[in-house]
Amino acid sequence: MKKLLLILLCLPLIFTSCQEEEIQRNYQFEMTGRTYQDVNGYYHVAINGTHSQVTPHTFGAYVTGIDIYNLTTVVLFRPDMFWYTIEDEGYTYIETGQVPTGESVWDWENFVVPGYEGITHPIIPLEQQMNMADVMIDSVFSMITPVGAMVGDTVTIYGKASFEEGDIELNDNIKVILE
């Protein structure tokens, strides 16, 4: 009799867990450089070689536009490359890695960019780092703005898509060679 009672108490738990699995969706998030991709998976972007010239390039991702709560997908992008201008002098230095904090290794290249003294510039502008998916085409787009002195460098762009109020996150990244 105790075994029968135990089985009857466990049945709702079994059916409840099955129903939760049926509700979950297979979310998608895949970044694309929207340009030529070589056999090693690197995207190639041609930029203006003039040291202080900014060359914008659009990249994006295919993403599930709406989650099970009918919320639009939020996508965050983060580059691993910045350019920095030193105060007073107007010279710009390129750093690969983290934001200039004195803890990371610098890849020094000098060039003059007037009017931007003492500012760190990620190659993805701050206003382009957070995006909402276009629910009509299940895609999201952003932009990189490298400067000409970055010719020959490789940048990694990291992306994170958040679904179900941030409970589910998918990550991806692309590597871009600036030519």
The domains of the chain, with CATH numbers, are 27-178 (2.60.40)
pLDDT (tens digit per residue) in 117-157: 667 788 998 889 999 999 899 999 999 999 888 999 999 99
pTM value? 0.73
pLDDT (tens digit per residue) in 72-105: 999 999 999 987 766 555 555 565 555 555 554 5
| Nearest alpha carbon to residue 54 among 103, 116, 127, 131 | 116
Query: Torsion-angle region of residue 169: left (phi > 0), alpha (psi -120 to 50) or beta?
Result: beta
DSSP string covering the chain: -HHHHHHHHHHHHHHHHHHHHHH-----EEEE-SS-B-TTSEEEE----STT-B--EEEEEEE-SB-TTSPBPEEEEEESEEEEE-TTT-EEEEEESSSSSSSSPP----EE-TT-TT-EEESS-GGGSEEE-BTTTTEEEEEE--BGGGTT-EEEEEEEEEETTTTEEEEEEEEEEE-
- List the structure tokens of 7: 């089985």
